[in-house]
Every structure is written in structure tokens, then in C-alpha cells.
A and B are shown apart, each in its own frame.
Chain A
């Protein structure tokens, strides 16, 4: 387990060091008005939505599934909240709007779970439905406009500070919560059992449908929170571009973190590392001044390198000494 996380960790450290080399002040932290600023804080803050969505994605992937609809769900959450707030500046309206949005996201998760666990549709197809239709729903909610709001309470979610940016705190809170729930209840073990061997789990009496249903709802709620962060950060809801392609970043984060797309054993810590790597990579692109036209290629090269480093075959080919089998 530790071993599997070594390579992503090294990749992250290498990326950070690269940033340090280019921008010597990258690791510097400074307090200003009780707020913590610095390059590392920026990485965490900008990576928070991806991390949240990747957490939900981790559990979905552990059950042999995938959820492509998270980006669209994030857009819907932002749209619903902003439309509800409208021109209001009151905190109560903001919280009510966010509550409505998250309940709606949970309902969308139920829908995904129904298609996958209830009807037995392949997850990639089932969630593709909401991936495309969801953007349409968000457009309907915002009536095709970019809805801007001016609400201090709402702004806190994505741009506020309690020493650290609030979005970081929310993401870490959810991470802690998931880790706690999966370890302290039997959910983690049952998710892995369903992912490793669905038939054996069924014959052992595991309610695999309920489990699968649960993870899709969780993934959708995570996407909803991420959507609130994204929209709150800019005080606007953009149905077309909010959370666009974030499902791909999330899936990538899960894979980089060492959770197999074939399902089964998963690693939340790995996903955290994966999300950080992706965000650091984006930051690196700016700090070292990669030309915009080769940005995507640069990212792709790094991602391929990290994935290869994790593959036992590639590692075997790279290693010059014969590694003794350790128990």
C-alpha cells in the first residue's frame, strides 16, 4: 500500500521542487489580515473542487463504476443556488439556495444509481445521460444567461478565509468524513468486496445494489459542493463552463492515486495525492511559462509518466537491480 503511493508522492514532490526552482518564493507563506497566502495555499485552494469530486469518484470506481456526470452536476448546483439568491444579499437566502442545490444533487445521484444498480445499465453510458442532459438542465435554470450574484455569505464558500481559504477546509472536512465513515463503518469493506467480486458478494448476502446506489449519491453530492465552490469563487453561475471536463481530472486523480479502474481496492490518500498532482501541474504550467499552445501536451506527458511509473511492468523494465520480494 505504502509502496503504491510512493511514486505519486515522488511525482508531487518533483513538481513542487520544479516550481521552487523557477519561483524561489513558491514555498513562502505569509499572514496578511489573518489570512494565509502562498503558492502552496493556492495549489490547495484551486485543487479543492477537483479533490472533492475525485473523492466521490474514488468510491464509484471502487465498485467497478464511473461517473461522467459530475461536471454537469456541479454546474447545476451553481446555477440553482445563484438563481435562488438572485439579487438578495441575505445569508439565509444563500444557505437555503445551497441546501436546495445539494438536495437536488443527491436526487441526481439517486437517478444515476437507479440507472446503474436498478436497471443494470453500464455506468459509463448511464452517467453519460446526465453528463449531456445536465448541462441542458443548468441552461434551463439560468435561462441561458450567466447569472451573477452579490452575496457576501455565498462568496465565503469559494473565496472566503478562516485563516485558510474556506474551500480548502471544506474539502479536507469531506475527506476526513469519508475516511472516517469508510473505516469506522463496514462501508469501505463492503464497497471493496462488491468491486473485487460482485458475484461472491451477492452470494455472501451483501446488498450490492444499495451500496452502489449510495456511492453514486455520494459522488453527486460531492460534485454539488464542488459546484458551489466554483460558482461562489466567481459569484456567478456559468451553465456552459462551470466544472467543464472536471470529471476527466477527477478520474485522472483517482487513477494517479493508484485505484484501479477495474474496481476493488481503493486509496483515499492516493486520490488526495492525485488531485494535488493535477493541480500542481496546472500551476506549474503557468509558473514555468509553458506556451499556451503546448500546455495540454505538457500535461499529458507528465500524466503518462506518472501512470507508467505505477505500472509494475514499466517499473520492472526501468529497474536495473532485481528487487527482492518483500512480504
Chain B
């Protein structure tokens, strides 16, 4: 791409804070007509917030957004859309019970004599569909079509108004390879018509295939803007996770590495679930910390959920102490001494409207059943012990969990499982979104637990953390286990290469 026309969107010095979090700090962003621009960054880097600032959902605290050279300040998504910024969100936001044509033109139906002009609407919808080369009957009901086609209808809806900017927020997450190819074909058609496309995806292969330019965010700040051709995958990942290559290679393992031997406490043999994670083998020994590394969407959480029975595997088997265990659900996993602290603290972890005390004893009480309540004294002792041990604040057992900070909520969730004295503790992103102090406390706790003989499966998007804590690192890519590395001799750079798909997994530990 030679010297381009002026950018259609320019955002300068955008800052936005939510209570307790600086979501965006002084971010610049440009979007040129006729390009596909990928917005890159790990979870919580600020991608969605930046998009929502552009589309009028959020108003920036500072900074200026301009569209086609003119300063704008949208106060609602409707205004942004009116100005030519169309957005297609990750989940299909359409009405399944209406027809394709109605969905495409909802809210702007052609009218005649006070009613909707249905023939005109179908004609207009057919035109839009033809423009992106989708051949379906506009009069058919949307629910008849598979998700992939619904996604294309959502795009048709987005371009039915004259849009100069099209925002696609993770449009490919529910599509298979053929459907992605179709989507990319349409994106290229629109790009060649001069539409500026902002594209978010966690799949690096797709980003490299479709995008012309990329902007990398990390922790709410701008890391850099590059032409896709100029930046290789290693550099990109290093930027996303926040290490330049020099430091990556220089990181030394400070932590003392254990080398637990002996039989596996938990062993997975060909365990897998279609569409979630391909069959994998995995051994976890008592007193061992196994790290799971991989980008978002690589199957980290899916793997953990199979081990816990939160989802049901459709192949393979799980052995605990060498004996096969049929997981019918979380209860059977808990009975076998497996605990799972979900990455989604609010949705799947804590019961926000209950007190710290109730949340702490929930798992243990559930295992006992409702007819055998924990005696008040035991409860108080447990609560007091863990409030102190994990330094949970406020140290008031009656405080509602919803009022706690993220770090303290995470500690409450951890404590809930520690109370049950698990043999295998699965920690999915236990340090995400919490402050540095709490993070260090949790890492310390993991080490201590392992020293006491608990097996730990540690999942984190921060590779440095995984490498430092884990005795063994399992690397995932595209929902597949691709390598298993010895934690004591592995550096972050090696893991990065594996994740990026650059190197063959030559250092596999048997």
C-alpha cells in the first residue's frame, strides 16, 4: 500500500476510565478507506472498549474522534450508525422469527400508504444480498438458516445503509473454515468498494490472511500500528503479551522447580469434545504445577472444563489414581477431589448476592447436602482462617461478595475450593484483572499448595506467569494440544514460538 488517502476514522488521545479501571489511556487509532484493519490484543487489552468508543456506546473521558475529517461525538450507537459506522457484534443480534428481508431492513422499512411496502422491501434486501454474493430467499425466515448465514445477514444489514466503516467484532468465532472463507470473500468485496473494515479476531491465521494493517493494544494503551506484511507472528505476540524479544530471551527462571515423579494423580487419555478441544493426553501428579499456555480461543478453558466435568467429553476417558472415573458433572469431580475455579468469576464463580461466608462454604456445604449444615462454629473457624490466610478485605464475613474488589473476589473463590481440600485444583485465569499485590499473593499460594502436595493446573494468558510457576507447560493452539515442555528449562520465547506456529515441537517431554 503506497501513500494512502486520508484516514476515514481518526481517534486521537482517547482515554476512558471505568470505576477502578483505566480501560483506555491515550490511545491513537487510524482507519483508512479500502483496508481491513485488525485490532489486536489479549483479553482486557481494551479492544472492545475502543470499538465501543468509536460506535458511540461509550463516550471517551478525553480525546477526539473524527470521521472523514470532521470531529464527531456520538452519544448513542444510533448516531454512529447514522454517520456511516456499522457494527456487527460477536453474537448475532437479529430476530430469528422475522424474515431475512425484515431483518436486513428492520427500522428502515420502505413504506407506502402508511404501511410497509413488502415487495419493495424484498427487492431492496435482494439487492443488498446480491452485492455480497449471498443467494438466499429474502422472504425466508431467518431461523431456517444456519448461524453462518445469519452472520452474513447481519453483515448485509450493516451494509444496507451506506456505511463507510464496518466494524466486525469476532465475526468468525462460531464459523467453520469454509464459512470463514466465504466471510473473507465478502470482506474483500466490500474492501475493494472502499469500505474501511475494522476486524477483531483471536485467530492469528485469519488475521494474517485478511488484514492489511493492524493496531496492537495492551492494558489499555497503544503498543503500535503496523502494516501486516511488516510484522511477523513472534513480534506480534511479544507485543500483545508485553515483552520485547530481547527481554523474552533474557528471562531466567528464578523460581525453584520441583520435579515430582510417581504415578499420575489425574490422567486424561484421549479426552476430547467436538468443537471444544481435540482429544488430548495429560498426566498431572500430586505436588505438580502444570501450566496451560495458549492464546484465547486455543482451548485452554475447554480442556479444564472437561477435567472437571463441567462439560461432558465425547471421547476418551479420565483416570484418577489409575482408576477410570465417569464424570457425570461437577459433583462427581468434586467428590474425586477435583476443584475448578472458573475464569468467569461473576458468571460461573461467585454468587454475588450472598455474603463472603456463604460463598466460602458453598462448595463444601453442597457436597454435604442441605440436610447436614456445617455447624456454625466450624463455619466461623473456616471463614476466619481463610479471611486471614488469603488476606481477604474487608475481613467481614457478612459483606456481600458483589461489593468486593476483583482481587478479593478471586480470593474468595479460591478459598471456597481450598476449604474442600482438593487434590487437583484447576485455576483458570486466577490472576486476570486483579492488582499486582493480589496477583503475587495468589502466585505464592499456588507454590505453597504444590509444596504441600496439591496438584495444580494453572491457566493464564500471561505466559511469563505460566513459565515462572509451572513445572510442566502444556501448549495449546487452535483447540489442540501441540506440545508439552519441561518448565525448568523453558523460556517464554520458546512457548511464544510454539503458539505462533513457527517451530516444530522438538522439545517434547515424554
Tell me the A residues contacting B by CB distance below 8 Å: 184-187, 189-190, 192-193, 196-197, 199-207, 211, 264-265
Contact = CB atoms under 8 A, between A and B. Distances in A.
Interface stretch (B111-119, B160-168, B369-377): B369-377
Contacts of B22: none
A200 B330 contact: no
Contact of B331 (A187, A199, A207): A207
A222 B65 CA distance: 62
A232 B330 CA distance: 48
B127 interface: no
Contact of A186 (B347, B349, B352, B373): B373
A264 B400 CA distance: 13
Contacts of A185: 370-373
Contacts of A265: 353
B370 A192 contact: no
B470 interface: no
A192 B362 contact: no
Contact of A203 (B349, B358, B368, B372): B349
Interface in B350-397: 350-354, 358, 362-363, 365-374
A205 B354 CA distance: 16
B371 to A, nearest CB: 6
Contact of A193 (B331, B354, B373): B354
Nearest to B332: A205
A202 B352 contact: no
A16 B334 CA distance: 53
A186 B351 contact: no
The 7 A-B pairs of least Cβ separation, nearest first, read A206-B366, A205-B366, A186-B373, A205-B334, A187-B370, A204-B363, A196-B353
A184 B371 CA distance: 9
Most buried by A among B352, B373, B416: B373
Contact of B330 (A190, A193, A203): A203
A229 B220 CA distance: 65
A161 B353 CA distance: 43
Nearest to A188: B370
A193 B308 CA distance: 20
B32 interface: no
Given A201-B362, A203-B310, A204-B330, A193 B370 contact: no
Contacts of A211: 370
B365 A190 contact: yes
B350 A193 contact: no
B301 interface: no
A200 B362 CA distance: 10
Contact of B351 (A187, A201, A207): A201
17 contacts: A185-B370, A185-B372, A186-B369, A186-B373, A187-B370, A187-B371, A196-B352, A200-B347, A200-B351, A201-B362, A202-B329, A203-B349, A205-B366, A205-B367, A206-B366, A207-B366, A207-B369
A207 B329 CA distance: 10
B348 interface: yes
Most buried by B among A200, A204, A211: A204
Contact of A204 (B347, B366, B369, B373): B366
B353 A192 contact: yes
B342 interface: yes
B353 A264 contact: yes
A182 to B, nearest CB: 9
A203 B362 CA distance: 10
A contacts with B: majority SS: helix
B340 interface: yes
Given A196-B352, A197-B350, A200-B348, A189 B331 contact: no
A206 B371 contact: no
Interface in B319-338: 329-331, 334
Contacts of A184: 373
Nearest to A189: B358
Contacts of A189: 354, 358, 362, 365
Given A186-B370, A190-B370, A204 B353 contact: no
Contact of A196 (B354, B363, B416): B354
Contact of A200 (B331, B350, B368): B350
Most buried by B among A184, A207, A265: A207
B348 A199 contact: yes
Given A204-B362, A205-B330, A205-B363, A197 B368 contact: no
B374 A186 contact: yes
B256 to A, nearest CB: 33
Given A203-B340, A207-B366, 6 more contacts: A186-B368, A186-B369, A189-B365, A200-B350, A203-B308, A205-B330
A194 to B, nearest CB: 9
Contacts of A193: 351, 354, 358, 362
A206 B340 CA distance: 14
Nearest to A265: B353
B329 A204 contact: no
B366 A190 contact: yes
Interface string B116-142: 000000000000000000000000000
Interface in B288-331: 308, 310, 329-331
Nearest to B358: A189
Interface in B6-26: none
B373 A199 contact: no
A264 to B, nearest CB: 5
Contacts of B351: 192-193, 196-197, 200-201
A204 B351 CA distance: 10
A120 to B, nearest CB: 15
B354 A204 contact: no
Contacts of B329: 202
Contacts of A202: 329-330
Nearest to B420: A205
